[in-house]
Chains A and B, each alone.
Chain A
Amino acid sequence: MDNRFSNILDMGVRWMFEHLQLSSSFSARVLRERTMEVGPERIQEQYRVLETFCRITSSGGAWEKKVPQLQSYLGHLRDIRQTLSSLGEDRTPDDIELFEIKSLAMISENIRPMLNALELGDLHLPDLSRVTLMLDPEQVGIQSFYVYDTYDPRLPDLRKRIRSATDYAEELQYQVAVIEDSVRKSLATDLLPYRTALQDALLVLAHTDIMLAKAQQVHQLNLVLPALDEKTTVLKGLFNPEVKEVLEAEGKEFEPVDVSFSLFEPLLITGANMGGKSLTLKTMAMVQLLFQFGFGIPAQSATMVPVQRVFFCGGDQQDMLKGISSFGAEMKKIDQALALIEGGKKILFLVDEPARTTNPTEGAALVKALLQMLVQKNTLSVITTHYNLKGVHCQRLRVKGFQDGKMHYQLLADTLEETPREALRIATSLGINPRWMQLAANELENTNNKTQFNT
């Protein structure tokens, strides 16, 4: 699996993609075909452009009123890459292809003055006025095409005769068809020098559409543009827009989370069941991908470190078809990531409760050892766990947890090395069989007494 946008949609990005108001389905295709940016300069450049788009499309901005017009132009954008690449290949384009080229040139010419005035580096449209003139010789300015009378002096008379014929003028029609074809052929020759410019324009327009949509998403979902850092990712007020929307529809509120972590020092998140650890971890994976694809970030503020790959390992990895248990599948996945890390790749490594399905003694040992493996590695790693781990060198955060009869999802700095025991309280609050809960509480008390006695 490479870092293509279409491959990362399942990592929580799909919702953001589906809520992107692109004007043309071609732009959506261009976005899906993109690969993740890993270089800080490229990411920085993307955000510089997005920042400009956000500024000019915000209320009072220079483009505020022009957006609907722009989107209506961009809505006519079609994927004509095939047409353009076959231009000049010893074949004559037909009216459909010439119409498509004319349409592209006209869209581009309409948008060019506005876009080029922004001086956004790569996002610059070439001059296609000659192409428009070639395909609109009567300068009607309408997006339609046929072999106009002006192309060949013989056409007006022949066509007049066809129109005045009482019956279908087969012979005349044939003569016209031959002339029309030679006109198309010479148009193709004339258009050839503009092929690269047309190809550039097509992509620049798609990217303009994408930038406009991203900027609108920033406004609509209250997203922020992140700052870049070489070492530490700091996310303040991080939220998951998809879950937020679901909760708000139910009249509930999403509790944003603050989280920060650095290279060389893994972050361990502990906390109660249902404390949103997995969601936070998933959101972190999503946010990193959004960052490297240049989207607005769902947080109050964000500083982020670019990585070469995002590695998320969580949920049930069981693959029955391959005959591997959930434990086995998880181990293999982690192993892949470790191989990357040991090979010197800078990745974001997110693992949700590793070794949860095995016995607590070995499980705890595995997690502790994993943390040790990650220390001093040029990688960002975040691990959640239930296990009590002592004496590990890592940064710790704890879910605030169940307080005042309510779950709090915020993450707090954790100095204790003891995992809070909230499982019974949470289960009880869910109304689980009271006798079972009582027996479990008794059992817990016995164990505690024994431990105390032993020490």
Chain B
Amino acid sequence: MPFINELIQYSSLSIVGLGKNTGKTECLNYILAHLPLQKLRVGVSSAGIDGERTDQVTQTAKPEIFLRQGVLFTTSEKHYRHRRLTSELMHISQEQTSLGRLITGKVQTPGKVLLSGPPATASLKRWIQFLRENYQADLCIVDGALSRMSTASPAVSESMVLTTGAAVSVNMQELVSKTAFTCELIHLEKSEYAARLMNGANLNRVQIIDDENQLQATPFSSVMQLEAELKLLIKQARTVYIPGALTDRFLKSVSSDQHLIQTPIVVRDFTCVFASPMTFRLFLKKGGQIKVLEKSKLIALCVNPVSPGGYRLDSDKLCDELADKIQIPVYDIVKNG
């Protein structure tokens, strides 16, 4: 059973797609079908409105989530009413979503359900905590929103599975390169100062570890304007923590200064990197370093070689090329599942 054994070592997992129709739902169904439920209490939900029967953009069929007996699931009131299984209603949350309140149920007889869960990162985090505390869930799975990587943030879940496929690009080289870049970001190294920076005064401000190894909070809340004073601080620092997004513009201006580029940059996690592959790689080539405060474990990459238009890439070749680039297991679940 590929990667399931590794999966169950973590208490939370998110499944994110690099794009629509990359087989995210198949991947989730595969995982749910293979988890050892007799040993493990599993909870599942989705980030925001997902799980429509048909894809709202491309109008292609989307598989429902199949749940086995004993699984806890959280979905909106609307989708709870439409469930096609028998479940024990355990809890109604006060949190409102566009589809009503969030309902948590426990499957009594297996069947199908549409998932639409907590909409934001913070509420997903609360959901995981809620299930762990109240129902002793061992593993909480978040069906991440499409093309919203933030749901895979390590602030929410410890581990992740990424799905990619022909829907992202039917050009294999482009697909591999796009996927590899995302994996590269997920693999960004955790800063040696991560713990100190995390406990720092304010994660919404630029913070530095100065040359005397002291943590300093600066008054700057962003690096949009790279002011002279801030430049000086960064030059003298051992490392600099940047709140929010890491943009092309900032990386370019740091790249062009041979003193600035010496200081390793720390961002919250990989979802904060918004730089283009070009700028990002150029920065690293010039000797720059980017690290993160929190890192999630990328357990596997699942590929769907079929595009919504019906175009099919060579599955074996795609898996091989990807595995070669990113050094983690790559699976075609539809073919091998």
Contacts and interface: CB of A to CB of B under 8 A. Distances in A.
Interface of A: 25, 78, 94-96, 99-100, 144-147, 159, 162-163, 165, 168, 173, 176-177, 180
Contact of B110 (A100, A145, A163, A177): A163
B77 A146 contact: no
B85 interface: yes
B109 A163 contact: yes
5 contacts: A25-B94, A95-B80, A100-B92, A159-B108, A165-B110
Interface string B73-111: 000010011001111111110100000000101101111
A253 to B, nearest CB: 33
Interface of B: 66, 69, 77, 80-81, 84-92, 94, 103, 105-106, 108-112
The A interface is mostly helix, strand or loop, or mixed, namely helix
Given A163-B109, A168-B112, A173 B92 contact: no
Contacts of B77: 96
Nearest to A94: B81
A146 B92 contact: no
B111 A146 contact: no
Nearest to A160: B109
A176 B109 contact: yes
B109 A162 contact: yes
B37 to A, nearest CB: 12
Contacts of B69: 163
Contacts of A173: 84-85, 109, 111
B89 A96 contact: yes
Contacts of A159: 86, 108-109
Given A95-B80, A146-B88, A180-B86, 14 more contacts: A25-B94, A78-B92, A94-B81, A96-B89, A99-B89, A99-B92, A144-B91, A146-B86, A163-B109, A168-B66, A168-B111, A173-B84, A176-B86, A176-B109
Given A94-B81, A96-B77, A96-B81, A145 B88 contact: yes
B88 A144 contact: yes
A25 B101 CA distance: 15
Contacts of B109: 159, 162-163, 173, 176
A145 B92 CA distance: 11
A159 B69 CA distance: 11
A145 B89 contact: yes
Nearest to B112: A168
A150 to B, nearest CB: 13
B69 to A, nearest CB: 6
Contacts of A177: 84
Output the residue of B66, B69, B90, B106 with the most chain A CB within 10 A: B90
Contacts of A78: 92, 94
Given A146-B108, A168-B110, A176-B109, A95 B89 contact: yes
